[in-house]
Amino acid sequence: MSWFRREKAGINTATEHKKEAPDGLWNKCPSCKKPLLNIEQIENKYVCHYCGYHLRIGSAAYFSILFDDNEFVELFPHLRSGDPLQFEDTKKYTERLDDSYAKTGLNDAIRCAHGKIEGRDFVLACMDFTFIGGSMGSVVGEKIARSIDYCLQNKLPFMLVSKSGGARMMEAAFSLMQMAKTSAKLALLNQAKLPYICLLTDPTTGGVTASYAMLGDINIAEPGALIGFAGPRVIKETIKKDLPKGFQTSEFLLEHGFLDFIVDRRELKQKIALFLNMIK
C-alpha cells in the first residue's frame, strides 16, 4: 500500500487555465544544453557562460556589440534581389525571397552600417545566416561593393562579419561574379591603404571563403566556427574517408596559418579598436 493517494484521477486543469511561460525568456545552449537566461545572454554577448560556446547571432546583435551605444546609420538598407534568371527549383525564387522577407524582417543576407567603435568611425558589414543560409547573391555583392566605395570616399576602415553557406544558387552565375566584384573592390581598398578586417563566424564556406572572407589585412575568427571552401560532406564523399577531428574549425585554420587570431566575442570590440588604433 502506497503512502500517497491520488485523490482525483488524471490531469484536470482546463486548457484555458494553463499557465504559459513566455517565449524567449530562456534558451538552451546548443553545446552544453544548459539553460541560458536571455537577459544574461545579451550581457554576455551571446556566449554561453557555462561552456564558452558562441551562439549564432545576426547583424542586429553584432551591431549592438560593436557600435558605440548601438548607434549607427544603415547604408543602402533597401536593396533587394531581382530575379534575373526567373529561377525555379522545387519553389520559385521569388517565393523563397518573400518567405524570407516575412520570416526574418530583413531585405537580404547582409546589412552594412556606418558608426563608431570606441570613438573611431568605421563601416561594418554583417551577414545574416537566417536569410537563405546567408547566401551571397547580387545584393550581398552589391552592398559590399558600395560599402567599400563609401569607405574609399570617406577614408574609413572596413570590417566585415562573414556567416554564409556560400554563393546563392538561385542567382547562378550572377552570384559567382559577386566573388570577382567584391575582390576587385577590396583590391582598390588595399591600394588606398585603408584597413580591412574580416571576422569569420560559424559557418563561412564556399564562394564567400573563396573571395572577400579570406582577403582581410587581418583574418580573425570566433572560436569553434566551421570555415572552409568545400563543405565537409562534399569532401567526405570525394575522398571516401572520414574527416579528422576538428577539421575546418577556426582552430584548424589558425594552426594552418590562415587566421591571425581567434577572438572571444566578449573581447571582440576592445581588440578591434586596439588594432585600429595601432595602425592609425
Partner 1 sequence: METTFDFEKPIADLQMQIEKVNQVADKTKVDMGATLAELQDKLEKTKYEVYNNMTGWQKVQMSRHPDRPQTLDYVNLICDDFIELHGDRNVRDDKAIVGGFATIGGQSVMIIGHQKGKNTKERQFRNFGMANPEGYRKALRLMKLAEKFGKPVVTLIDTMGAYPGIEAEERGQGEAIARNLMEMSVLKVPIVCIIIGEGASGGALGIGVGDRVYMLEHTWYSVISPESCSSILWRSWDYKERAAEALKLTAADMSKNGLIDGIIKEPLGGAHHNPEEIAESVKQQLLGDIATLQKKTVEQLVSERIDKFSKMGVVVE
CA atoms within 13 A on the CB side of 60: 5
> Among 258, 260, 262, 269, which residue interacts with partner 1 (rule: CB under 8 A)?
258
| Residue 162 binds partner 1 (CB under 8 A) | no
Task: Give the distance, in angstroms, between the CA of residue 142 and the centroid of all CA atoms in the same chain.
Answer: 17
The answer to whether the Cα torsion of 90, 167, 142, 268 is positive or negative is positive
Looking at 4-12, 31-39, 120-128, 187-195, which segment touches partner 1 (CB under 8 A)? Answer: 187-195
> Among 158, 211, 221, 276, which residue interacts with partner 1 (rule: CB under 8 A)?
211
Which residues ranging from 85 to 124 are in contact with partner 1 (CB under 8 A)? 85, 87-90
> Among 61, 75, 152, 177, which residue interacts with partner 1 (rule: CB under 8 A)?
177
CB of 200 to partner 1, least distance (A): 10
The answer to whether the Cα torsion of 250, 54, 75, 80 is positive or negative is positive
Integer CA distances (angstroms), 66 to 94, 244, 255, 272, in order: 33, 34, 27, 9
> Among 178, 195, 225, 250, which residue interacts with partner 1 (rule: CB under 8 A)?
178
Which residues ranging from 27 to 86 are in contact with partner 1 (CB under 8 A)? 78-85
Looking at 47-55, 59-67, 170-178, 262-270, which segment touches partner 1 (CB under 8 A)? Answer: 170-178
CB of 177 to partner 1, least distance (A): 4
- Closer to partner 1 by Cβ: residue 60 or 188: 188
**Residues in contact with 249: Cβ distance below 8 Å, sequence separation at least 6, in sequence order:** 224, 225, 226, 227
Grid coordinates representing 73 are 546609420
Query: In this structure, which amino acid lies at residue 269?
Result: K
